Amino acid sequence: MVTAAWPGVPEGCSRYLPVTSSAAVDAGAVHRWHVLDNAALLPDDVGPVGTLLCVHGNPTWSYLWRSLLEPAARGTVPGISAVGPWRVVAVDQLDMGLSARTGPRRLADRVADLGDLTDALGLTGPVVTVGHDWGGSISLGWAIDHPELLAGVVLTNTAVHQPADQSIPWPLRLALHPAIHRPGTVSTTAFLDITLGLARPRLDPAIRRAYRAPYRHGRRRGGVGQFVADIPVDETTPSFPELDRIATGVHGLTVPVLLLWGPDDPIFADRYLRDLIDRRPHADVHRFEGAGHLVVEDAPVAASILDWLGRRVPGDRVSDDAAEAPRGSRLTLADRDYRPLWATLEQRADDPATAVVDMAADGGPSGNTRAGGDSTGNDSSGSPAPARLGWDELAARVDRLRRGLLAVGVRPGHRISLLVPPGIDLTCLIYASLRLGAVIVVADAGLGARGLSRAVRGAGPDWVIGIDRALTAARLFGWPGRRISLRTPDRLTRRALGVDHSLAEVLAAGDTAAAESPNPEPAPDDPAAILFTSGSTGPAKGVAYTHRQLSAMCRTVSTTYGLAPGTALVAAFAPFALLGPALGATSVSPAMDVTAPSTLTAAALADAAAAIEATAVFASPAALVNVLATADGLDETQRKALAGVDLLLSAGAPIGEPLLAAVSVLVPHARLHTPYGMTEALPVTDVDLPGIRAAAADAAAGAVTGAGNGVCVGAPVPGAHVAISAFDAAGSPVGDPSAVPAVSGEILVAAPHVKDHYDRLYLTETAASDRGWHRTGDVGHLDAAGRLWVEGRLAHVLRTSGGPVTPVEAEQRMADVDGVARTALVGVGPDGAQVAVAVVETRPDARSDGPAPRRTAEALRAALAAALPHLDLAAVLQVRRLPTDVRHNSKVDRSALAGWASDVLAGRRATAP
């Protein structure tokens, strides 16, 4: 039961107790404290594992932690064994909540107060402190003072340090202003109302009333004003020494630490999170995108804390009912096989042969005219010539950049966000940063302005290197990090964009630095890169790789496709711009907008191929579609260049036989391969055009068990293992990893080149990791020949009353109907009772979005009835254009379509996404 006044608080959890103060301000005084304590909910036959000591900030109270009370007492979290039970003691600090009003108290007093309370309660270890807002620093003060009891620390949106060169957040500056302070914090409820208004979504009225209950009258809000007045703004503030003591003490913590953060917080922004990470580098960190200051209200913080307790405090307690990945795949690349990405540059430092060609060179700092251009940078026809670097020049320039970056202050471990188009400059920056030991952060503009900003802020770079447009965004969105401009800006632009150095200045610094600038080679297991996913199924995630894992990726690509020195590679797919030099391949990026793959034209591809006499091409499906659409304009020389290609790779989305067959006409001598993988592991499986046709024949003839239903992406590449976690009746992948044919479920992957972890997404990482397997979020099945068939994304599985339905097979059947260009199958309604809705893009384009014409609907129903008689379509809708992800331009956004379809079926007018 819960109290009527405080929804969410179980009956019997509210209690008062007298506590004698040891604080300097009123030592010996006895104060009446209020706490929420779940001791009455704990089972009689099982003692608690420990105590969660929860401390609120300003202007909240113990009610903030209500969601922990009952779940902690139960001590159960799905998938985790032996979580608890845990006792929860959520305090009301003196002058706050329902505790006694005592008059002004400083930070040191409040830390002492908390110790007095725990003494009065007789708390024994283990204790895990949980803090929010200024309750974070107070709980840390208690933690530092009670190491013998401490078992863990949880912090949510707080701070322990205010940089001397930065002002405190503007809302706090405003609240401290003499004209605003007392009227805003004590005389009125403005400070409280503004804080509660930060919740996302808006708090339920009953919950708002509960938060306001202890602060209805001005005489009850004195602590709110005093808390603000005590903010340690700088060294002159009385509480600054205590905050400094706490900040210093954090370095000495030896217990597990969990940081749960709402990044959309105007008060405790990401800069405070980065400070805490610097102090506790091995902390588990999760940023809840979309959450703000009241992250405890905005996100599943209670469940996250309990899950973490089961895994980290005390010891690891991950349930052991999952099958381990094959032992060989769980081992990292052995030291004897490890080869850093820059090794090829060092080996070929005296080789003048062409290493990198830039088709879109603009005369930037790394421009070069060797092998084909005159001193003006033009070829013999007068057109701008591609810029080229030989292996010797590339090696020298990379080392020059390494020395220059060190000279301007970049250090091993620093994060460098590279917002530079593919080409010579990006190649040099990547390899210089990796050799230096810095961590490259790669998130492209294809994520969109908001998505890119979210990614960069989440990664928290120490440096941002970019073009003017990127640095403008950095200034506009307040991205962290010092700035290096790709070009040399004028004085006004430098000041406006906050540029610290230009790339030319960094190179010049490298010239003056000692040739043997001290810089030990990074260790294999040091962090190397954070590569952001496409964001096609939610906010883009930062995927962290070590040097060893990047080396394993390079080795796998080389082994699988025979890419080696002598290969001439057109990298029209951004990830492969990273690997070209490491493979020893001559590399070129075609003239295109890499953030929009569909901008690649046939002429641009052919010109890039001609520039290096290409033998290999890597391009996304969306890029190939536009290449085919623009192929009529190719001249004989361009067609001849494409005819010299003997390997074409396409990845980024499943690709069908018709598209590959059409592409084969342009590259008649090429082997056409479509590797399956993701940012977290590329490649995982591989199949070529004959293999796709063989799989289709097996499916049609029923010759191989499990052949069919989805897109065949082939067998695992060397060193990779694939398994399936089968669906239950509700469509959840709960089965043990298995290779049994024809069983649909989530695709699991294990390989030496699988990512290390998700960056600052602890909960995402734990959900995706399964005893050495990586849960991909894709769904599919294996056939008896060991081939993988992809059936869609886990988030897009239809959960119908008849069981789970994956979308891809139905979409393939519908795509065969005349007049249909692309299709999507989405589920509408509650889980377990969803109905199927088909959404199609037609030829010619539909004139409006909404119900499809009867003829189209009947043809689609007939196509499905023949192959999937169990699938009934509740509706057939048409759109002028199916929405796709912004990065690959290939993956249909089924989630957006499902929301739109739901509105249409409910009779609401809605614009298609």
- Listing DSSP states for 203-246 in one string gives PPHHHHHHHHGGGSSGGG-HHHHHHHHT---STTSTTHHHHHHH
Tell me which residue of 87, 77, 125 sits closest to 318, measured CA to CA: 77
Q: How many helices (H) and strands (E) does the chain have?
A: 31, 37
Inter-residue contact 784 to 705 (CB < 8 Å): yes
| Tokens linked to 904 | 């249409």
Query: Cα separation of 871 and 864, whole Å?
Result: 7
> Could you tell me if 697 and 824 lie in one domain?
no
Identity of the amino acid at 767: A
The boundaries of the domain holding residue 816 are 797-905
Bridge-based pairing state of the strands 87-91 and 51-55: parallel
> Could you tell me if 636 and 723 lie in one domain?
no
> Could you tell me if 717 and 790 lie in one domain?
yes
Query: Cα separation of 238 and 798, whole Å?
Result: 60
Number of Cβ atoms within 10 Å of the Cβ of 595:
17
Q: Which residues, at least 6 apart from 147, have a Cβ–Cβ distance to it below 8 Å?
A: 254
Q: Which residues, at least 6 apart from 505, have a Cβ–Cβ distance to it below 8 Å?
A: 404, 408, 488
Q: CA-based Rg of the chain, rounded to a whole angstrom?
A: 30
The answer as to whether 301 is a domain residue is yes
pLDDT of residue 758: 97
State which H helix or E strand residue 714 sits in. Answer: strand 711-716
pLDDT of residue 867: 79
> Could you tell me if 787 and 851 lie in one domain?
no
Last residue of a domain, one of 296, 312, 328: 312
Q: Write the CATH number for 607.
A: 3.40.50.980
Last residue of a domain, one of 674, 700, 730: 674
Number of Cβ atoms within 10 Å of the Cβ of 478:
12
CA 417 to chain centre: 14
Q: Give SS3 for 573.
A: coil
> Could you tell me if 636 and 685 lie in one domain?
no
pLDDT of residue 8: 95
> Could you tell me if 686 and 803 lie in one domain?
no
Query: Cα separation of 833 and 577, whole Å?
Result: 46
Q: Write the CATH number for 277.
A: 3.40.50.1820
The answer as to whether 242 is a domain residue is yes
Q: Write the CATH number for 880.
A: 3.30.300.30
Taking only the tens place, the pLDDT of each residue in 117-173 is 999 999 998 999 999 999 999 999 999 999 999 999 999 999 999 887 788 888 888
Q: Which residues, at least 6 apart from 103, have a Cβ–Cβ distance to it below 8 Å?
A: 25, 26, 95, 222
Total of domains in the chain: 4
Taking only the tens place, the pLDDT of each residue in 218-236 is 999 999 999 999 999 888 8
Query: Cα separation of 681 and 788, whole Å?
Result: 15
> Could you tell me if 685 and 805 lie in one domain?
no
**Residue 727 DSSP one-character state:** B
The answer as to whether 341 is a domain residue is no
Inter-residue contact 841 to 821 (CB < 8 Å): yes
> Could you tell me if 645 and 731 lie in one domain?
no
The answer as to whether 62 is a domain residue is yes
Q: Which residues, at least 6 apart from 265, have a Cβ–Cβ distance to it below 8 Å?
A: 157, 198, 292, 293, 295
- Listing DSSP states for 10-59 in one string gives BTT-EEEEEEE--STTTTT-EEEEEEEEGGGGS-TTS--S-EEEEE--SS
Tell me which residue of 173, 123, 185, 110 sits closest to 151, measured CA to CA: 123
Q: Residue 475 half-sphere exposure, CB side, CA atoms within 13 Å?
A: 17
Query: Cα separation of 285 and 760, whole Å?
Result: 5
> Could you tell me if 140 and 73 lie in one domain?
yes
| Tokens linked to 445 | 């503009």
> Could you tell me if 104 and 219 lie in one domain?
yes
Tell me which residue of 293, 282, 296 sits closest to 251, measured CA to CA: 282
Q: Residue 574 half-sphere exposure, CB side, CA atoms within 13 Å?
A: 27
Last residue of a domain, one of 632, 647, 674: 674
Task: Name the stretches of the chain with pLDDT < 50.
Answer: 1-2, 315-322, 327-330, 362-364, 367-382, 887-889
Q: Give SS3 for 681.
A: strand
Query: Cα separation of 590 and 600, whole Å?
Result: 8
Q: What are phi and psi of 459, to 5 degrees?
A: -75, -25
pLDDT of residue 326: 61
pLDDT of residue 890: 58
> Could you tell me if 67 and 200 lie in one domain?
yes
**Residue 592 DSSP one-character state:** S
The answer as to whether 472 is a domain residue is no
The answer as to whether 591 is a domain residue is yes
> Could you tell me if 209 and 242 lie in one domain?
yes
The answer as to whether 125 is a domain residue is yes
In sequence order, what are the beta bridge partners of 721?
A: 750
The answer as to whether 357 is a domain residue is no
**Residue 740 DSSP one-character state:** -
Bridge-based pairing state of the strands 820-828 and 835-842: antiparallel
pLDDT of residue 377: 40
